[in-house]
């Protein structure tokens, strides 16, 4: 009568696993979560929104030095900037020629749209010959500017602190392609938390 030999255990099942496999079993899930989180953060910052810091007084009284904003990037995929929007943008070539770096983002308010004629006279801004009603400026501009026609795919932008702003009245028109996004919400300081207009 034949007897069945006792089952032998598989030597592979009891052999110690390589260190790399042990390490991955212990840390793999955490690393995967971290990589996904970093990837998501990069995606959001690149295509959806990013925080920005105000370094100058050019947008007083609307924005003060040290204010921190959320700059959203989605709305301009569906419609162009509108008059009154506060936009953050990469310095155009004429500013880069003056020594500003590409990563030194500017922030200004959209005043003139493509095809519009912008002028400054007697301390007032005119769009197509009509007075622009503005409640957000620090003071009336102390300069004059002959009518300028905004070209296609360009904007005329100004700081709310008209007499302390390096804007379109100094360096010309802003290419719309330079816009990073629309400054829509201030999250710091807490006492000034909220949207902007």
Say whether both 55 and 37 belong to one domain: no
Q: Are residues 114 and 29 in the same domain?
A: no
Query: Looking at residue 176, which CATH number applies to its domain?
Result: 2.10.109.10
**Is 5 part of any domain?**
no
How many other CB atoms are there within 10 angstroms of residue 167's CB atom?
20
**Which region, left, alpha or beta, applies to residue 146 given φ > 0 means left and ψ of -120 to 50 means alpha?**
beta
Asked whether the predicted pLDDT for residue 77 surpasses 80, the reply is yes
Q: What is the pTM (predicted TM-score) of this model?
A: 0.79
Whole-number Cα distances in Å, 44 to 4, 26, 30, 122, 191: 65, 29, 21, 44, 26
Band of residue 28 on the pLDDT scale cut at 50, 70, 90: confident
* CB of 106 closer than 8 Å to CB of 170: no
Number of domains comprising the chain: 2
Residue 1 has pLDDT above 60, yes or no: no
9, 26, 58, 121: the catalytic one is: 58
The mean per-residue pLDDT over the stretch 10-33 comes to: 69
Mean pLDDT of 116-133: 97
Instruction: Output DSSP code: residue 79.
Output: S
HSE-up (13 A, CA, CB side) for residue 86: 23
DSSP letter for each residue of 99-144: T--TTS-EEEEEEE-TT-EEEEETTEEEETTEEPP-SS-SS--SS-
Dihedrals phi, psi of 68, to nearest 5 degrees: -120, 135
The span from the CA of 105 to the CA of 171, in Å, is 15
pLDDT at 9 over 70: no
Enumerate the β-bridge partners of residue 157. 110
Asked if 67 and 122 sit in the same domain, the reply is yes
75 found inside a domain:
yes
Q: Is 58 a catalytic residue?
A: yes
Q: Are residues 74 and 43 in the same domain?
A: no
Same domain, 24 and 81: no
What is the arithmetic mean of pLDDT over 60-75?
A: 95
3-state helix, strand, coil split of the chain in percent (to 5) is: 25, 30, 45
Residue 39 located in a structural domain:
yes
Query: Catalytic pick from 9, 13, 73, 108?
Result: 108
Q: Is residue 56 annotated as a catalytic residue, yes or no?
A: no
Tell me the pLDDT of the chain averaged across its residues. 87
Query: Is residue 146 in some structural domain?
Result: yes
Do 104 and 141 fall within a single domain?
yes
In this structure, of 21-30, 127-136, 142-151, 173-182, the range with the lowest mean pLDDT score is: 21-30
Q: Is residue 11 one of the residues assigned to a domain?
A: no
DSSP 6-53: PPPPPHHHHSPPPHHHHHHHHHHHHHHHHHHHHHHHHHHHHHTEEEEE
Which of 19 and 162 is assigned the larger pLDDT? 162
Residue 128 lies in a domain: yes
């Amino acid at each position: 009568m034949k007897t069945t030999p006792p089952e032998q255990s598989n030597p592979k099942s009891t052999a110690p696993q390589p260190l790399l496999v042990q390490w991955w079993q212990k840390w793999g899930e955490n690393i995967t979560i971290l990589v996904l989180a970093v990837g998501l953060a990069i995606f959001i910052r690149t295509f959806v929104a990013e925080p920005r810091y105000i370094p100058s007084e050019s947008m007083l009284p609307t924005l003060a030095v040290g204010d921190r904003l959320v700059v959203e990037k989605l709305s301009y995929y569906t419609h162009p900037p509108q008059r009154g929007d506060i936009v953050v943008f990469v310095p155009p070539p004429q500013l880069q020629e003056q020594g500003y770096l590409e990563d030194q983002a500017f922030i200004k308010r959209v005043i003139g749209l493509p095809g519009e004629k912008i002028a400054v006279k007697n301390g007032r801004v005119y769009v197509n010959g009509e007075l622009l009603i503005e409640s957000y400026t620090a003071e009336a501009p102390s300069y004059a500017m002959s009518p300028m026609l905004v070209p296609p795919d360009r904007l005329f932008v100004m700081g709310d602190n008209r007499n302390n702003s390096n804007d379109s009245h100094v360096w010309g028109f802003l290419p719309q392609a330079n816009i990073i996004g629309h400054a829509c919400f201030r999250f710091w300081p807490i006492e000034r938390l909220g949207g902007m207009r």
